[in-house]
Chains A and B, each alone.
Chain A
């Protein structure tokens, strides 16, 4: 039997070689299908890894709490529709939940920032001291503000790299210079190390930090003292995030005097969740691309089936001769199945090459990270065998079921 299979593969290759154009066109569907699967999955895997890295860059154990929707007399405000979170909330959380290693708070707005004759609209954040450690900001030069700055509502600012790029000339030292935020002069005391894009795609370096007290009293204004735009908390270990979130919810519901059955008037987010959403999005993308690839594999398979049906008809007489000299039905079946599989496997191999080249080219041209997993290649290869087997079965069976006399007489 191995001799039979080897010789049949050899025969199949010769037959394909004879009709190169026809075989090539037939295999094209498989080539494109397998190529697409490999390229797409590589891009998808690359994107997933990139997202995971970005999420990590934001700190995986950070909890964000935003003011949420409130319902007043049946009218529901949207998220942030009411100012429900306060500095006191944040302090209380820290006090009552031992799992939390730190809590901080902040509020923010886009403001015009001026340095000499240059100006820029940047995100101005008034934050608590602890915020910088929770979000793991570090400094390229200078340093953070102090408790004293906070207490005295000092006009000092920390600027991100994007702000530096847009407000200062190259080579100019930002630390120590005076910039104006909404016409209030601020002394720059630190430049933040760049963090790059966030998982949402925003520029994390287009940012200015000023003490929360300063923001509240001099720049951003407030509805009432102590209201905050967001509360931040962190846990020592990422595993504690889940229980910390539950406890935060409990404490805040108590403090906000929410009756059972009422909705939360705050929203708790973790970076893990945000990352999951992103990952989910890229998984959806991968799945969609996989569906497209599957469809082209299907079309490729139908192409193979079609050409094999033509081949069976063309070679009816040959089939008759083979039967006359002693080919059993299973020999004929195997011959056409092997031809189908040979076609789909050759197509699959070309597709694998195409997919790897495609992924590399995408990496170079679009700058997207791509990861080619051996698993993907193996799966694509297995799929191409399966396509050949599946779509070869019908024509091969048709050939094997031929009556020897009818086949011999066929003209």
Chain B
């Protein structure tokens, strides 16, 4: 089991008002799944993604990632987990401006302390996998939205993470670019067995996933397989 969440609570305090973003959520995701998380805004899906991505800690509850109880870790240990086990793809790409595609892709390796030469080789390979060979020296402003998102995917997969978190990855893209991005994600999942957790509110994007989870009021409202051949997987959940 890659991800196991038990009784996750996330409570924010805005002045005197207490917001319960997650209310005792349970969730398990196995290695190699392609999960789409859906839900209205305010449903708690962003809070869930932040916790799954080790960017945030739950107020209460436990979260095991690769059998490590993440909820008990401190910020440096979380940074290390993000660096080694998680790749992020964001809606607005979040590339570092005025920095080439290659250097953007190298960034996680840089923080891992890998020698520069090796960083280059690994980043080139990652960019090739997302179909950006020949554009390594381009700056984000010289790339289209779809290309920028592909750089972001290259950056996410360059470390070989066990989990790829994509938060509305097609939210800022046109239909054609969206399709390209989803094909890349699908390929990563199918051919390389990378676990992908995708947050989206577009149903046609969600259809690329094998499993659909709908969050409402901080709990899982619906959890179903969308592919018959994977029926067996979800029955274990």
Binds A, one of B111-119, B173-181, B205-213, B214-222: B111-119
Distance between Cα atoms of A320 and B55 in the complex (Å): 10
Give the interface size bracket for B toward A: 20 to 34
Distance between Cα atoms of A324 and B82 in the complex (Å): 6
Decide: B55 and A318 in contact? CB cutoff 8 A: no
Task: Flag whether B83 is at the interface (Cβ < 8 A).
Answer: yes
Binds A, one of B33-41, B73-81, B125-133, B183-191: B73-81
Task: Flag whether A366 is at the interface (Cβ < 8 A).
Answer: no
Taking CB atoms, residues of chain B closer than 8 Å to A3 are 113, 115-116
Query: From B152, which residue of chain A is reached at the shortest CB distance?
Result: A321
A317-B94, A328-B76 known; A322-B56 Cβ under 8 A? no
Distance between Cα atoms of A324 and B76 in the complex (Å): 12
Decide: B113 and A408 in contact? CB cutoff 8 A: no
Once A and B bind, how many residue pairs between them come within 8 Å at the CB atom? 64
Taking CB atoms, residues of chain B closer than 8 Å to A1 are 113
Decide: A4 and B79 in contact? CB cutoff 8 A: no
Task: Flag whether B141 is at the interface (Cβ < 8 A).
Answer: no
Decide: A324 and B112 in contact? CB cutoff 8 A: no
Distance between Cα atoms of A329 and B90 in the complex (Å): 22
Decide: B113 and A326 in contact? CB cutoff 8 A: no
Which residue, A4, A321, A324, has most C-beta atoms of chain B within 10 A?
A: A324
Taking CB atoms, residues of chain B closer than 8 Å to A324 are 53, 55, 82, 88, 94
A3-B115, A325-B111, A331-B111 known; A408-B76 Cβ under 8 A? no
Query: From A400, which residue of chain B is reached at the shortest CB distance?
Result: B75
Decide: B79 and A321 in contact? CB cutoff 8 A: no
Decide: B55 and A404 in contact? CB cutoff 8 A: yes
Taking CB atoms, residues of chain B closer than 8 Å to A405 are 50, 55-56
A328-B79, A328-B80 known; A4-B55 Cβ under 8 A? no
Task: Flag whether A18 is at the interface (Cβ < 8 A).
Answer: yes
For A326, give its contact among B56, B82, B90 (CB under 8 Å): B82
Distance between Cα atoms of A18 and B96 in the complex (Å): 14
Taking CB atoms, residues of chain A closer than 8 Å to B96 are 318, 321-322
Distance between Cα atoms of A327 and B82 in the complex (Å): 9
Task: Flag whether B97 is at the interface (Cβ < 8 A).
Answer: yes
Which residue, A317, A318, A323, A325, has most C-beta atoms of chain B within 10 A?
A: A325
Whole-angstrom distance between the Cβ of B168 and the nearest chain A Cβ: 13
Taking CB atoms, residues of chain A closer than 8 Å to B88 are 324-325
Task: Flag whether B84 is at the interface (Cβ < 8 A).
Answer: yes
Decide: A329 and B84 in contact? CB cutoff 8 A: no
Task: Flag whether B137 is at the interface (Cβ < 8 A).
Answer: no
Task: Flag whether B227 is at the interface (Cβ < 8 A).
Answer: no
A327-B111, A328-B76, A328-B111 known; A18-B82 Cβ under 8 A? no
Decide: B55 and A326 in contact? CB cutoff 8 A: no
Task: Flag whether B108 is at the interface (Cβ < 8 A).
Answer: yes
Decide: A321 and B82 in contact? CB cutoff 8 A: no
Task: Flag whether A361 is at the interface (Cβ < 8 A).
Answer: no
Task: Flag whether A7 is at the interface (Cβ < 8 A).
Answer: yes
- Tell me the residues in window 1-46 of chain A with beta carbons closer than 8 Å to chain B beta carbons: 1, 3-4, 7, 18
Decide: B108 and A4 in contact? CB cutoff 8 A: no
Whole-angstrom distance between the Cβ of B167 and the nearest chain A Cβ: 10
21 A–B contacts, CB within 8 A, in A order:
A1-B113, A3-B113, A3-B115, A18-B98, A322-B96, A322-B111, A324-B53, A324-B88, A325-B83, A326-B79, A326-B80, A326-B82, A326-B84, A326-B108, A326-B112, A327-B111, A328-B75, A331-B111, A404-B55, A405-B50, A408-B94
**Chain A residues at the B interface, C-beta cutoff of 8 Å:** 1, 3-4, 7, 18, 317-318, 320-331, 404-405, 408
Having A329-B75, A405-B55, one finds 12 other A-B pairs with CB under 8 Å, namely A3-B113, A3-B115, A322-B107, A322-B111, A324-B55, A325-B88, A325-B107, A325-B155, A326-B111, A326-B159, A329-B76, A405-B50
